[in-house]
A and B are shown apart, each in its own frame.
Chain A
Amino acid sequence: MRQLRILKRVAVETVIGVKRSGWSNWLVISILAIALTIFGGVLQVTMAMKNVVSAWGSQLEISAYLKDGVNATDMARLCSQIPDVQVVEIVPKEIAWAEMQSNFKVAAINNPLPNTLHVKLSTVDAVEKTAGRLKALDGVEHIRYPLKVARNLNRFRQFLEIGGAIVTAALTAATLTVIGNTVHLVIQGRQREIEILSLMGVSPWYIKGPLILQGAAYGCAAALMASGFLLGLHLYIDPYVHEQLVSFLPILPQNMDTGAVPTFFVILLLGMAVGAGGGAWTSGRYIKI
């Protein structure tokens, strides 16, 4: 009960601190909201691009040509046990030969084609590795797959991941600085009060707690603003994106899920964590009790 009363007082002190900060609250929340909007935007674009890349990757197919006399069904079962293999489609040599004969003018010779397996994977990452495993199988004569495309897709995905991490780190640092400076101003404004509280025997965490919560409150408010802005942006540009891209690249709109809900939670958590972290770091640095 006593602890609850103390927590209530810390919350009350936080509200008093926010009220006292006046217009500077809006300044810091606005700056934070801009940083979080950029971060959320980058996160959504990265997620959408990753989805598109994954969708492209799942279209990649490895063709495995089987040796004569090898049972295609047995081989398909064996292939499906390889990790990351999603679908194995058997193309019997008779069907392939019949298709070839219907599409091209072919001499009347015996069917020279092998039984073929078309292997689709769950991730583009696994293309090269799986191709190697397939090639090593006893009944496989030869394999073929678009190596260059797979490598480029992987590179692009890695670029997105690294770029996203760098942007996130930069924005987190900027946000920490903004929060830190604001809390520092609050501490300077309350220097005398903090000295008095310390001499009265008030616990350090009771003095620092409201500053940490104030930072978290800034992060929360800024995250709500940023999410609102991103939602508005989606409502405005999503119809345009879908309409324009469907004729150009049909695969894009189907895979343009930007993960709005996860983004909101990531922004909220990041905003609050960075806000609280900035408050804790600054109060730890400038309040000597």
Chain B
Amino acid sequence: MIRLQNVWKEYGGRPALANINLHIGLGEFAFLVGPSGAGKSTLMRLLYREETPDRGSVMIGGVNLTKLSPRQVPLLRRRLGIVFQDYKLLPKQTVHDNVAYILRALGVDESDVKRRVQSALCMVNLEHKADAFPDELSGGEQQRVGIARAVVNGPPVLLADEPTGNLDPSTSLEIVQLLERISQRGTTVLISTHDHFIVNELRRRVINLKDGQIVSDVTSGLYEVETA
């Protein structure tokens, strides 16, 4: 589903990613780990086409992202669910409207919007907060709204960039378990994180980045943080 071949990305002459080769299959669940500056966010940004590689190819679902025209980028992003560390919710819209936004922008019939939003909110256990505004929710609830928004359009791939970065350990675990449940429905899920606690709890595939290179890729792995 996700394939990177010989991918290089440099910033100011310094490589952020160096010769990355990676394949993540359909419905697979994987963690992308590494310390700050390892290149996790750069790799994620390549996947949702916020950046393009200097060399190599990035493919999602058979589509080569390096060859996409700017007009095709929105079409790609509609096939991706993206979850952010800072949730990126629209502050002046209710939970329901935040989740419904993309469906309405795509011209989905309002009754269908209502049904799909309810289903997404039910999945993240927030149907009772549909009329609340983001600032009335806890961090964990806001992130669950972000996840509901990411999956409401039924994307085959879900990318979560440090989704637990602003959350306490128990809430983080809840969020990652929620993402794992979504993966079990057939969605490919890639989570970038430096939180070794959640990675070690789930024991799933772990791709370890360091200085822009993949140093290990283990199927049921652990994330061992180096201490100085």
Q: Which A residues are within 8 Å of any B CB, using their own CB?
A: 2-6, 9, 20, 192-193, 195-204, 206, 289
Instruction: Give how many A-B residue pairs fall within 8 Å (CB-CB).
Output: 61
Q: Say if the beta carbon of B76 comes within 8 Å of chain A.
A: yes
Q: With a CB–CB cut-off of 8 A, which chain B residues contact A20?
A: 92
In the complex the two chains form, is B90's CB within 8 Å of A193's CB?
Answer: yes
CB–CB A201/B102 < 8 A: yes
Chain B count of residues within 8 A CB distance of the other chain: 28
- Per DSSP, chain A at the interface is helix
B69-91 to A contact mask, C-beta < 8 Å, 1/0: 01101111111101010001110
Q: Would you give the shortest CB distance from A65 to chain B, in whole angstroms?
A: 74
Looking at the assembled complex, report how far the CB atom of B101 sits from the nearest CB atom of chain A, in whole angstroms.
7
Q: Does residue B105 face the partner (Cβ distance < 8 Å to A)?
A: yes
Contact A201 B80 (CB under 8 A): yes
B104 part of interface (Cβ distance < 8 Å): yes
Per-residue A-contact encoding for B96-118, CB less than 8 Å = 1, 0 else = 00000110111111100000000
* B52, chain A: closest CB distance, angstroms: 14
Q: Are B75 and A200 in contact (CB under 8 A)?
A: no
Report whether A2 and B107 are in contact in the complex, using a CB–CB cutoff of 8 Å.
Answer: yes
A residues in contact with B29, CB < 8 Å: none
Expressed in whole angstroms, the Cα–Cα distance for A28 and B113 within the complex equals 36
Q: Which of B74, B102, B106 is within 8 Å of A6, CB to CB?
A: B106
A201 touching B90 in the complex, CB below 8 Å, given contacts A5-B107, A6-B105: no
A residues within 8 A CB of B89? 196
Within 8 Å CB of B76, what residues of A?
A: 201
A202 touching B70, Cβ below 8 Å = no
Q: How far is the CA of A203 from the CA of B71 in the complex (A)?
A: 8
Instruction: Show 20 residue pairs from A and B whose CB-CB distance is below 8 angstroms, ordered by the A residue.
Output: A2-B107, A3-B107, A5-B108, A6-B105, A6-B106, A193-B90, A196-B89, A199-B48, A199-B50, A199-B82, A199-B84, A200-B105, A200-B149, A201-B73, A201-B75, A201-B76, A202-B102, A203-B74, A203-B105, A204-B74
